[in-house]
Amino acid sequence: MLNFGSPVPIYGLPAGFRLRLAGGASEFFVTGTYMAEGKTIGFIRIPSYWPPSSALMTQIFEREIAFFQDNTDGLVIDDLRNPGGIVAFGERLLRR
User: What confidence tier does 10 reach under pLDDT thresholds 50, 70, 90?
Assistant: confident
Instruction: Let me know if residue 32 belongs to a domain.
Output: yes
Domain that holds residue 44: 18-95
Distance between first and last Cα of the chain: 29
| pLDDT for res 57 | 93
| pLDDT for res 72 | 98
Instruction: Let me know if residue 2 belongs to a domain.
Output: no
Instruction: Let me know if residue 33 belongs to a domain.
Output: yes
Write the pLDDT tens digit of every residue in 44-94. Answer: 999 999 988 999 999 999 999 999 999 999 999 998 888 889 989 989 998
| pLDDT for res 67 | 98
| pLDDT for res 43 | 97
Instruction: Let me know if residue 10 belongs to a domain.
Output: no
Instruction: Let me know if residue 8 belongs to a domain.
Output: no
Q: How many CA atoms lie within 13 A of 54 on its CB side?
A: 11
Instruction: Let me know if residue 9 belongs to a domain.
Output: no
The domain tally of the chain equals 1
